[in-house]
Structure 1
């Protein structure tokens, strides 16, 4: 009986340790996420600073500043 209980307890502990090791991201996943975020930021910056979008944003700001209450 003691050996059965000990074997089951060991299995539970081993399973808990394995689950703890797999919780969270590893360094390569962090690096991939950071590279993707930077790439998205660069694309967004290029879009916002392009001529057409920049002109549209300026017109929106001018309309907001000239608005009368």
Structure 2
């Protein structure tokens, strides 16, 4: 088999996308990150800070 034929064969059999297991790991990682963000947002000081930012933003008149 020539080099060009070998390259063509590799291109045909190359894995071009994520497999189901990779999707599962990615989904679990995204859920864990969302849970971490939720825990941080629900902490007392951050919740107060976010509420103050929203209140300030809504009270600005254009």
Q: TM-score, normalised by structure 2?
A: 0.73
Higher Cα radius of gyration: 1
The structure with the largest helix share of the pair is 1
Unaligned segments of structure 2, at least 5 residues: none
Query: What is the deviation of 1:13?
Result: 5.2
Q: TM-score, normalised by structure 1?
A: 0.67
1:62 counterpart = 2:55:
yes
Pairwise CA RMSD: 2.1
Q: Which structure is higher in RCO with an 8 Å CA cutoff and minimum separation 6? A: 2
Unaligned segments of structure 1, at least 5 residues: 1-6
